[in-house]
Structure 1
Amino acid sequence: MEILSVQDALRGHPIPATQHYGFLLVPGFSLIGFSSALEPLRMANLASDNRLFQWSTISLDGAPAQASNGIAIQPDYALDEAPAFDTLFVCGSNPIPPRIEPRYLNWLRHLARQKTVLGGICTGSYWLARAGLLNGYRCTLHWEDTERLLTDFPDIIVSKHIYEIDRDRYTCSGGIAPVDLMVALIGLRTGRNEIAAKVSELMVCERIRSTQDSQRIPLRQQLGTSQPKLTEVVTLMENNLEEPLTKEELAQFIQVSVRQLERLFQEHLRCTPNTYYLELRLRRARQLLLSSNQSIIDVAAACGFVSVTHFTHRYRAYFSTTPGRERRIGQPPNARSAVGRPPVQIS
């Protein structure tokens, strides 16, 4: 399959036939990611008055695939019944499971041998990496799972951009980032920027983001003002979860007094530095519990807790469940929202 550049299309290069996109729905896949990838293809057909794209869904054995929000989708094919695709996207799950069914990986390797273009949506890059299909490629995935991917595959190049197009690998982060990836691919596929722009307009997207856009909103943008000292200290916290720094050490690093440090957090984040730091550590612990095979004692140590008892007490206070139960259920907890959440007490 050849993906046209805009320049080739404008020179009269013939546009290829309808492209067939496949979407592999793994258990717990992100429904918003899948929908954000699918709808731009439908809009492109509408905007062009041509059937530029068709699509199919696949599950492991053809049984309904349940998304992370509980909604089930009846797929078109099982793995062993699926036809050839021009492009196949893995719609990754949240969280990434500790173990991936080998049949997924073998099938993806088979597609790669058939020269199928492969992509990952949300955490889909992890499936490709586990199958050994991202070696030498630049990729991205949801920012929460970047550390897991880098830990398990340290030689893979992972960016913080919302999407990456690297030869025959298309990857993007979660949420609505697939819209941006697909709009970019529609432009390449047709060689007509007006179709991509029309798709964006139909989807009420005020701006088409590029591959250079970052996933996370900078803290200064979240606050609505520039607070370099606060940004600096939060970065220090994020980089020192295993051995947490004291308030005095944090204040010294950014060259303010402890009182000034506390005032910054209270004024802009409506919490104390200790509360914010603890929340970072607990959320990191949840990621490790749901997406790794590390023991609970190792997770506790990796997130700066001196004992499993202390870790369990803090975890239950924040997530209303214990680490052990969290792992057994294997689903994200209903954490309290940041706004109006009672402060977590530090002992």
Structure 2
Amino acid sequence: MISPEPKKTWHVDILVADGFVLTEVAGIVDAMRIANRVAAFPPFSWTYRSAFAGPVDSSSEVCVKAESFAPKPHADYAFVIGNADPDCPALSVGTQIDRYTFRGAQVFLLAEAASRYIKERGTEGTRMSTHWENSDILRERSSLFDADNAIATEDGLVVTCAGMGATVDVMLAVLRRHISSANLMTVANILLHEKIRDFSTRQPLGGARSSGSGDRELDQCLQIMQANIEDPVPISELVNVLNISSRSLERKFRTHLNTTPNTYYRELRLARANNLLLNTNMSVREVGLACGFPSGFSGLYKGFFGITPFALRKQRRQQATKGTNLGKSDAR
């Protein structure tokens, strides 16, 4: 642990692009803002940066005013924020990453930004992290990728992270280096962050812990379901593994999740199918098979989402074409 240095201001650059995830920005900025309030001397400052100076819109329609990328950055840390579009070209910031690390700054890549870095730089010999949804996408697009399901993985000056709510944990780990333990605990308490998780903590869907229900059998059941999406485990086998009755399992699902085991399992698989349909070029049949639906997938999908997989794909293509045409119009 690095000794606190209260008389130094540590600067953080926050790299954003249109469609950035507001949850991640809030996790970074609010942690620093509260640290500045509780510390004897405000230890942190920050700047929003993007490829072009000016307003940048989040996926939540909240806007921040950013300065342009610095040719010679002087920040101590840089955070590259994830994006609602995992294929957003603005997430390709390898040159900026190199500029920061060359000058000794540590760079944190969150969610989709981590995925883009993994895709462009490769993972040979190195474990890297990204959000579990993006891990699914990368695995389907490239069978060579095997994500580390930790909330963050540190590789020298580059840290790949899950992002989303785990951004607070990552930021608290940074704060720990520069403020006292008492102040760190105060920041966590103000954020109502009950436990500061270290980087090695598994993501909730990473396989180590699936639920916070406090019910051991239910948590184990959810873990098995999440680990067996492509080849669903029959409920009759689940109760045998858990050594409980079918009625007992039904009661646990009703009490804690207000649903049935079959309904929960089906919705879990449909949610993953939706992610693959939106973010990969897999055929509808391939998506169905990957999510444990060898037949009847389109009907089940429409019953849940109100649209067929084929219609969804067509709708997305039309939206993408419209966006491209608008961009060309703006350029003129």
TM-score of the superposed pair, with normalisation by structure 1: 0.73
- The one of 294, 304, 317 aligned to 2:303: 317
Matched, 1:93 2:83: yes
From 165, 173, 181, the equivalent of 1:184 is: 173
* Amino acid across the alignment from 1:243: D
Choose from 24, 34, 41 the match for 2:32: 41
> How far 1:92 sits from its partner (Å)?
0.7
User: 1:109 and 1:244, CA in 2 relative to 1: closer, same or farther beyond 3 A?
Assistant: same
Contact 1:125/1:140 (CA < 8 Å) preserved in 2? Answer: yes
Look up the match of 1:244: 232
- Aligned-pair identity in percent equals 27
What is the rounded CA distance, in whole Å, between the counterparts of 2:231 and 2:147 in structure 1? 27
Separation in structure 2 between the aligned mates of residue 270 and residue 31 of structure 1, nearest angstrom? 30
Deviation at 1:206, TM superposition (A): 4.8
1:159 to 127, 149, 158: 149
- State the distance in 1 between where 2:52 and 2:220 align: 49
Relative to structure 1, the CA distance from residue 187 to residue 153 in structure 2 (aligned partners, 3 Å threshold; closer, same or farther) is farther
Q: 2:169 & 2:59 partners in 1: Cα distance?
A: 22
Tell me the equivalent position of 1:335: none
Q: 1:127-172 CA distances to partner (integer Å, 9 max, x unpaired)? A: 33234286655543333333335564856661334x4555423444
Task: Choose the corresponding residue for 2:94, options 105, 109, 127.
Answer: 105
Give the letter for the 2:48 counterpart.
T
Of 199-208 and 236-245, more deviation after overlay is shown by: 199-208
Superposed displacement of residue 44, structure 1: 2.5
Distance 1:38 1:296, change over 3 A: same
Once the two structures are overlaid, the 10-residue window that deviates more, 265-274 or 176-185, is: 265-274
User: Where does structure 1 differ by over 6 angstroms across 4 or more consecutive aligned residues?
Assistant: none
- Unaligned regions of 5+ residues in structure 2, if any? 318-332
Equivalents in 1 of 2:54, 2:143: separation in Å?
31
Shift of residue 43 of structure 1?
2.5
Structure 1 residue 117: Cα displacement:
1.4
| AA matched with 2:37 | L
Matched residues in 1 for 2:43 and 2:173: separation? 14
Look up the SS of the partner of 2:170 in the other structure.
helix
1:118 corresponds in structure 2 to: 107
1:57 maps to 2:45: no
Match of 2:260 among 272, 275, 293: 272
Q: Judge conservation of contact 1:41–1:53 (CA < 8 Å) in 2.
A: yes
1:303 to 266, 277, 291: 291
| Cα distance in 2 for residues equivalent to 1:271 and 1:73 | 40
The equivalent of 2:329 in structure 1 is none
Contact 2:31 2:187 in 1 (8 A): yes
* Deviation at residue 285 of structure 1 after TM alignment: 0.6
Q: Supply the AA of the counterpart residue of 1:38.
A: V
Distance 2:192 2:236 in 1: 48
Amino acid at match of 2:79: F
- The one-letter amino acid of 2:14's match is F
**3-state SS of paired residue (1:221):** coil
Aligned to 2:19: 28
- Say which of 177, 197, 204 aligns to 1:216: 204
What is the CA distance between 1:280 and its match in structure 2?
A: 1.3
TM-score (normalizing by structure 2): 0.75
Letter paired with 1:297: R
Structure 2 CA distance for partners of 1:102 and 1:25, relative to 1, 3 Å: closer
Is 1:283 the equivalent of 2:271?
A: yes
Letter in 2 for 1:176: G
1:74 to 47, 50, 65: 65
1:132 paired residue number: 121
Q: In the alignment, does 2:139 pair up with 1:142?
A: no
What is the rounded CA distance, in whole Å, between the counterparts of 1:265 and 1:206 in structure 2?
25
1:189 match: secondary structure: coil
